[in-house]
Amino acid sequence: MAEFKEISPNASATEKLANWWNNRFPTAGGAYRTHMSEYYAPKNFNFWYFFGSLALLVLVIQIVTGIFLTMNYKPDAAVAFASVEYIMRDVPWGWLIRYMHSTGASAFFVVVYLHMFRALIYGSHRKPRELVWIFGCAIFLVLMAEAFMGYLLPWGQMSYWGAQVIVNLFSAIPFVGPDIALLIRGDYVVSDATLNRFFAFHVIAVPLVLLGLVVAHIFALHDVGSNNPDGIEIKGPDAERDANGHPVDGIPFHPYYSVHDVLGIAVFLLVFTAIIFFAPELGGYFLEYNNFIPADPLKTPAHIAPVWYFTPFYSMLRAITNEMMVVLSLILVLSVGFVLLKTRASTMTKGALVVLTFAFLWMFNAFGFTGVEFLQGIDAKFWGVVVMIGSVLILFFLPWLDKSPVKSIRYRPGWHKWVLAVFVVDFLVLAYLGVQPPSPIGERVSQLGTLFYFGFFLLMPWWSQLGEFKTVPRRVTFAPH
């Protein structure tokens, strides 16, 4: 049992209340000191460091608005669309809650994408923060699942047919695919059973996993310390410390950064509310116009596309055709040949690599690009699903793919910035193509974009070490303002 601390009888009422609380709940005070008042963060944080706290803010907005929406929403295929209309038209301030939730979904992905980009430019995924990055990627993956399941709930045309297309992709998995798709839907088509399952996962199961990962992400970050724009470890064994043992290049998170983040929150809320009040659909990107039409299983929309934050990965899925499989086969053969010539691996390792290569080529051949089918009923769509899933999973391996001797883009060769800039443009182009109807030109561009996307990561162990790197200073660069 913890020992109670005494306080002067002449102390103020506030001090007495704080002492009473700390004596009975010391864990709360310890958590506050560990993660706020005594957590030292680098003093050179810049604009890019707003997005971590903004992601937490949007998560709170989504949870609170989601609770209020469930009070009037009915997860029944017969009345789901009508219940959303009831919320929008008859529930006091229901339209505001619904628009906050729908806009918050897009805002969540905007903030998370920018947060991940910050990590990419400053090397926040590098040692000793590999686990922080892995938790962050897991959050991104779970967030995609949460958004996908929530997208079905309004039971509009695009919700229904988007879910139909995405769930049917699982049926392309050999042997077990149809059973997996049936398990997800709970029926042979997207129906009332699907809506109930998605509602339960969206409201209860997935948010619990998401909250657990967020807590793990923050705890892991505070255990190893935050990165900074210089990529210098302010708490490392060689870092300078003051007489109290605190890093001289750090400042307490509270009150300095907790107050500093208010600026980012204020600007974000201005933009957020402007979109809610003046453009909640944002030209059909945040809320598609087809989703204002009740779901009709007998009438397929002319063009089915996912929400904008899924479209880069959807473009990669559509890019995988039989012709693309030929290109990928050639790239695989050339890559394996390069590895065999340039590495000093053992004969057994090289032999295993050759065997795996022939196995993959046989599988590619089995999917019919030469007209020879060893396995019936399987086509390039399966590899499209593999590429789409792989485009997300490859992010988990980024800490080990990046071999640069420095962390921050500030001290890398100038052309590294151009490689990163082209990657961002490529990602945006893929996102744009994902909302457009299929076309021959769009298909070719998305195929090139897919190759560059994976080339950026798979070739990173090679290109990230090239060039002349600048000398990293011993202490962080900081200009008071």
Mean pLDDT by 10 residues, the chain (481 residues): 73 86 82 81 91 96 96 94 96 96 96 96 94 97 95 94 89 85 90 94 96 95 92 83 84 89 95 96 89 90 88 92 78 73 71 74 54 47 87 95 94 95 97 91 94 92 93 84 60
φ, ψ dihedrals at 98, nearest 5°: -65, -45
Q: Are residues 219 and 318 in the same domain?
A: no
Q: Which residues contact 250 (CB under 8 A, 6 or more apart)?
A: 40, 41, 42, 43, 234, 235
Q: Are residues 232 and 344 in the same domain?
A: no
- The pLDDT of residue 279: 94
481 known member of a binding site: no
| Spatial separation of the C-alpha atoms in residues 233 and 256, rounded to whole Å | 19
Q: Which CATH number is 272's domain given?
A: 1.20.810.10
Q: Are residues 314 and 450 in the same domain?
A: yes
Q: Are residues 346 and 418 in the same domain?
A: yes
217 known member of a binding site: yes
- The pLDDT of residue 367: 46
Domain end, chosen from 304, 329, 364, is at 304
C-alpha distances (whole Å) from 437 to each of 11, 306, 315, 379, 433 are 71, 12, 11, 22, 8
pTM to 2 decimal places = 0.91
- The pLDDT of residue 33: 78
Q: Are residues 53 and 141 in the same domain?
A: yes
Domain end, chosen from 249, 276, 304, is at 304
Q: Are residues 372 and 317 in the same domain?
A: yes
101 known member of a binding site: yes
Q: Are residues 387 and 265 in the same domain?
A: no
- The pLDDT of residue 370: 45
User: H/E element holding 276?
Assistant: helix 258-278
Q: Which domain holds residue 335?
A: 310-467
Residue 14 belongs to some domain of the structure: no
Domains held by the chain: number: 2
